Amino acid sequence: MTFLQFYGGVGEVGGNKILLEDEGVKIWLDFGQSFKMGGDYFTGWLQPRSQNGLGDYFEFDLLPKLKGLYAEHLLEGTSLKYEEPRFDAVFISHAHFDHVSHMCFIDPIIPTYCGSGTKLFLEASEEAGLGTDYGAHNYRTFRTGFKIKLDGLELTPIHVDHSIPASYGFIIETSSGMVVYTGDLRAHGPKHEMTEDFIKAAVEAEPVALISEGTRMDVNEKRKNLSENEVLKGVEEILDRIEASSLSVLYTHNSRDTDRFSTFYKAAESYGRCLVISPRFAYLLLKLVKDEHLNLPDPFSDDLIRVYYRRKKSGKYSETDYYEWERIFWEKKITAKEIRKHPGKYMMDLGFYNFTELIDIRPKPGSPFIYSMSEPFDESNIEDQILHNWLDHFGLRYYQLHASGHMSRKELEEMILRINPKTVYPVHTENPELFRRFYDNIVIPKKGRKYTLI
């Protein structure tokens, strides 16, 4: 028999932790942290204590208290005693925080399967000073179409288009029939044909269960459903308006969205500007160019790319002020002084937490700031207000151009109707009940409850 249990991604966006058991084989589909995890108890600098292992997490039921799952040293001082692993594998759909973050707690003996590109993202996050440590793991990488057998269970990863490369959905052959897990996906991105490959495979599988994301399942979705090409056109229109001026162009996007990076790269190339990126993003590119499937520029050899160094420690741009991994791009260095002197030559990626650099760069009033991320879910979002305070202070013009990494409600409905599964289990959504408006066989998961596939 086959069972499903949902320990995360239930009535919330992100934090997917889905346990599938078939004839004694137990696998996890993702092991991430939701965006609102622990929000009733933790905020800002008030966070679970690392020196208490998993004790603080168990106290507030933020992790499933299961035997044979966690690393031995993290259970010291908790009521859960260490046991040899009772689980056969963890399968990671992609490298976003809300799908991988809690894998750092998992017993390193348990095999972790992920895409080859996902492994590069995880390595870059750990190596580039992000304060990220996923722990030691028995990694086994795959690409689309691989067949992974664990006794009688067979799992096939199929690529999907999402706002990070190396994203996958899974087709799983169990003793009770086929199970399909979407991971996160979209149908309007630059590689939408990959999502179509996945949907076709899911249709052919005739699944008894579809575990589907529903991030944008909302009653009245207000967010624009732009394609990546429409984002590019929007950026080019902004550049057209200021082409005769000497204004700088500032933008920000999710640091793992390489499709969005490529969009700004194309725009910069078309308008004769250099693209200025952070050392951290340059390091990520350096890792990702190893994957020939991604077709990304080498930050060392590409003349269009410059690497921005902010003042640290001595405040005098001394090479010893920077981490070793930052110094490797020293020959590509550009500082606020150069951008301030020749603003019309550059397009600069400036994230919110580096806004103090605006004081040194001093962009001219009227310079565009392109916010290439999704709108905040919460209209009272304090960071959004502070962002606009900074832009107003320097007289910058705000533009919002973003192509979502998730299917719209209409696209989700069309996909599910095409796949026509026996049962749908909505995850990664705050509105799972909306699935019932267009499909009959919906099971809204309850956290920790075991569901039998018949």
Written as one string, the DSSP assignment of 406-448 is S--HHHHHHHHHHH--S-EEEES-S-GGGGGGT-S-B----TT
> 344 phi and psi, to 5 degrees?
-70, -5
CATH of the domain at 140: 3.60.15.10
C-beta separation of 277 from 251 below 8 A: no
Tell me, yes or no, whether 195 and 260 share the same domain.
no
Out of 371, 400, 429, pick the residue that ends a domain.
Answer: 400
**Residue 241 pLDDT:** 93
Q: Considering 400, 419, 441, which residue would you say is the last residue of a domain? A: 400
- On whether both 50 and 156 belong to a single domain, the answer is yes
Q: How many angstroms separate the CA atoms of 371 and 251, rounded? A: 6
| pLDDT in the model for residue 130 | 60
Query: Which amino acid type is present at position 438?
Result: F
Verify that 387 and 247 share a domain, yes or no: yes
The full DSSP string for 180-246 is EE--S--SSSTTHHHHHHHHHHHHHH--SEEEEE-TT--SS--S----HHHHHHHHHHHHHHHTTS-
**H/E element, 262:** helix 258-270
Q: What is the C-alpha separation between 287 and 121, in angstroms, rounded? A: 8
Per-position DSSP letters for 297-335, written without gaps between them: --TTT-TTEEEE----TTSS--GGGS-HHHHTTGGGEE-
CA angle 162, 168, 169 (to 5 degrees): 110
Splitting the chain (454 residues) into consecutive groups of 10 residues, what average pLDDT does each group show? 97 96 97 90 89 94 96 94 97 96 96 95 82 86 95 96 96 98 95 97 98 93 82 97 91 93 97 96 92 90 97 94 94 97 97 96 97 69 89 97 94 97 97 96 97 92
72 plus 215 within the same structural domain: yes
Task: Tell me what pLDDT residue 324 has.
Answer: 92
Q: Do 430 and 355 share a structural domain? A: no
> What is the torsional sign of CA 183, 410, 9, 353?
positive
> Helix and strand tally (H, E) in the chain?
12, 20
Report pLDDT for 38.
86
Angle of helix 409-419 relative to helix 192-205, nearest 10 degrees, comes to 30
Using CA of residue 106, residue 110, residue 113, residue 119, what is the dihedral sign?
positive
Q: What is d(CA 121, CA 288) in angstroms, rounded to the nearest whole number? A: 8
Q: 357 and 426: one domain?
A: no
One domain, residues 190 and 237: no
Taking the model in full, what pTM does it have? 0.93
Together in a domain, 144 and 266? no
Domain count along the chain: 2
Claim to verify: residue 356 and residue 374 sit in the same structural domain: yes
What pLDDT shows up at residue 13?
A: 93
State the residue range of the domain holding 16: 2-220+405-453
Please name which of 404, 332, 337 lies closest in space to residue 372, comparing C-alpha atoms. Answer: 404
Q: Are residues 174 and 148 in the same domain?
A: yes
Instruction: Collect all residues with Cβ–Cβ distance below 8 Å to 382 and sequence separation of at least 6.
Output: none
Domain identity same for 376 and 409: no
Domain boundary among 400, 417, 445: 400
Which pairing describes strands 450-453 and 2-8: parallel, antiparallel, or unpaired? antiparallel
pLDDT value of position 220: 80
3-class state of residue 345 by DSSP? helix
Both 172 and 285 in a single domain? no
